[in-house]
Structure 1
Amino acid sequence: MTLLESRRFRAAGAGLNYAHRAGDGPALCLLHGLGARWQTFRPLVRSLGPNWNVYAPDLRGHGHSDWVGGRYGLTDFTADIAEFLTEVVAEPVVLVGHSLGGWVAAMVTATMPDSVRAVVIVDSALYPLRREQRDAMTFYANPSLAMRSIAVSLRLADPELKQRWVEGRNQREQDPDEMLARLRCPVLLVQGDAAAGGLMAPDHVERAMSLLGNGTHVFVPGAGHAVHADAPAAVAAALRRFLAAEVDRTTVKGEIG
């Protein structure tokens, strides 16, 4: 399988590092979560196989992309990725966003719907979290408690980013109901298991599905917040079924075993 190659793109607001692997299949853009970097998607890319035309940027302030102090709002991330899709991908794309990346994917789609074929939102906390959920994710706010799997990513990330998690800014910067109601392309919600650290609560899913014009939902038992890394084969299978259903104009819902 061809390896992902590291490249550079200069957006108006920040220089972005990204990985690319050419393929004959659909264009797929992978957006990582807070404190992570594009490498978090390696297990999913392996599970998807070689045919996808894969793009995976580091969001500003993350990985090897530029730090831009004071400019880490949702609109800043969204502007970078909208420009990236226009200038680099330059074809309708399937956007896959994990956590913070799910918010960015949804906002990009609402901003430029003709450029996005479908959206996959992976265990994003679309609505305010319960106290126990926030407490379970303190490793994002305090790198000294970071899991080994994201320790390198957190060292590379701008320390200012941790304030996004501490302050719970996403819901204040963008109304999730208004954002989700604007999405008209097919949307897949991938929910992790709360018992393993998943943050997309059942009531989040129910509320989001009531707002989406073309929504599908899958639950991945045993997978934590990083569903795509914990259960890459299951997420890859769900993505394939979802896109097949898009083509066939059918709806696929249910649980991944």
Structure 2
Amino acid sequence: MTIELRGSALPAVHRLPADASGGAAPGARVTAVLAHGTGFHGRVWGPVARRLPGVDCHAPDLRGHGESRVPDGYDFPWSAFGADLLATADGVDPAERGPVVGIGHSCGAASLVLAEAARPGTFAALWLYEPAAFPPPPPGVVPTNPLAALARRRRATFADRAEAARNYASKPPMNAFDPEALAAFVDHGFDDVDDHVRLKCLPANEAQVYESALVAEVFAAMARVRCPVVVVEGNESKSGRFAALAAQFPYGRLETHPDLTHNGPLTHPDRIAASILDWLAPLR
């Protein structure tokens, strides 16, 4: 179900799972805003949402992704992603709203930090899987993001969605995706254009999102987030990167899943949902 936000064309928001009714999930006591990573869209959270009984899940397409369109040449300030998440929280019917929590992956996780820092008290707690946040570089160092170059080389068109699905399923990293998550990405991540399909999040736009990450100031915003935060990491535990990020939050803690990759929410929805349900237990 897609929800039209009052007074705003952005973002498109999807009630998950896909067969959710117009009302809150039966017995729902928590409202969750689920924020996706760069290049994806809200519906890829479907397999996780289906495993969260009693949680009312709202998954926006951040601008430039999915159904949330932007004009050519948009520079993708990450503060705007934060605004999309605030709009999503505001768009939930007050009569249905329980405690509002944020659940995010990568760029989406970082954008939840920016949202809560911009308007403290919006979220009762945050669950952040490997947030894309970086300490400021040393003086005189101009940072670069190698993911931007990779994104610009990404194939944007296929003959049809079936060809796209076969392509992604044949090689890393998407060959490890949960089949339902991969199908959701393909089904809703492409536009029909004449005799082919084209990615909704164009490679140039994805690259710009990665480049904008370097000036997003997510790291600085962490100290202003006063709600409880769990930073969840996959197999980067040896680097200590996410332990350092968790320490930036006044009420942060670290959870580690050393056998998962950066795409854990898309590869292991059962494990991710179990982590979220444990985290939600005090709120329920």
TM-score using structure 2 length:
0.71
Measure how far apart 1:220 and its partner are.
1.7
* Whole-angstrom CA distance in 2 between matches of 1:240 and 1:206: 22
Counterpart of 1:123 in structure 2 is: 130
Do 1:67 and 1:158's aligned partners in 2 also have CA atoms closer than 8 Å? Answer: no
Q: Which has the higher helix share?
A: 1
Aligned equivalent of 2:142: none
Alignment of 1:1-257 (within 5 A): 5-9=1-5, 12=8, 14-20=9-15, 21=20, 22-23=24-25, 24-49=28-53, 51-69=54-72, 70-88=74-92, 90=94, 91=97, 92-127=99-134, 140-144=151-155, 147-148=168-169, 149=182, 150=185, 153=189, 155-164=199-208, 167=211, 169-176=212-219, 178-194=220-236, 202-244=239-281, 246=282
Going from structure 1 to structure 2, the CA distance change for 1:221 and 1:106 (only over 3 Å counts) comes to same
- Aligned-partner residue type, residue 213 of structure 2: N
Identify if the C-alpha distance between structure 1 residues 159 and 201 changes in structure 2 by more than 3 Å, giving closer, same or farther.
farther
Report which structure shows greater RCO (CA 8 Å, sep ≥6): 2
Partner Cα separation in structure 2 for residue 101 and residue 89 of structure 1: 22
8 Å Cα contact 2:151/2:203 also seen in 1: no
The 8 Å contact of residues 151 and 207 in structure 2, kept in 1 or not, is answered as no
Check whether the contact 1:31–1:57 (CA below 8 A) recurs between aligned residues: yes
Q: CA deviation at 1:201?
A: 7.0
Preserved CA contact (<8 Å) 1:78 1:107: yes
Take 1:164 and 1:10, find their aligned partners in 2: how far apart are those partners?
28
Over 3 Å counting, the alpha-carbon distance change for 1:110 and 1:156 in structure 2 is same
Cα distance in 2 for partners of 1:165, 1:15 equals 17
Distance, in Å, in 2 between the alignment partners of 1:120 and 1:172 is 23
Question: What is the alpha-carbon distance in structure 2 between the residues aligned to residue 235 and residue 71 of structure 1?
Answer: 32
Q: Which runs of 5+ in 2 are unaligned?
A: 136-144, 157-166, 170-181, 191-198
Q: Which runs of 5+ in 1 are unaligned?
A: 129-133, 195-199, 249-257
The separation in 2 between residues aligned to 1:75 and 1:137, in whole angstroms, is: 19
Q: Work out the CA distance in 2 between the residues paired with 1:82 and 1:62.
A: 17
Q: Once superposed, what is the RMSD of the aligned Cα atoms? A: 2.8
String of CA shifts for 1:142-197, please: whole Å, max 9, x gaps.
32298443556371114442223553x21312151x21111110111111224xxx
Deviations 1:103-145 (A, max 9, x none): 11111111122221111111223227xxxxx768965443229
2:71 partner SS: coil
SS of 2:232's partner is strand
Aligned 8 A contact 1:192 1:225 in 2: yes
Cα gap change, 1:116 to 1:237, in 2 (>3 Å): same
Confirm or deny: 8 A CA contact 1:60 1:68 kept in the other structure: no
* Contact 2:230-2:246 within 8 A present in 1 as well: no
Instruction: Give the whole-Å Cα distance in 2 for the aligned partners of 1:109 and 1:207.
Output: 19
- How many aligned residue pairs are there? 229
Q: 1:238, CA displacement in angstroms? A: 1.4
- C-alpha change, 1:201 and 1:86, in structure 2 (3 Å) is farther
Instruction: Quote the offset at 1:30 in angstroms.
Output: 0.4
Q: 1:201 to 1:161 in 2, by over 3 A?
A: farther
Distance, in Å, in 1 between the alignment partners of 2:11 and 2:87 is 11
Query: Given that residues 15 and 65 in structure 1 are in contact (C-alpha distance below 8 angstroms), is that contact kept between their aligned partners in structure 2?
Result: yes
SS in 2 for 1:61: coil
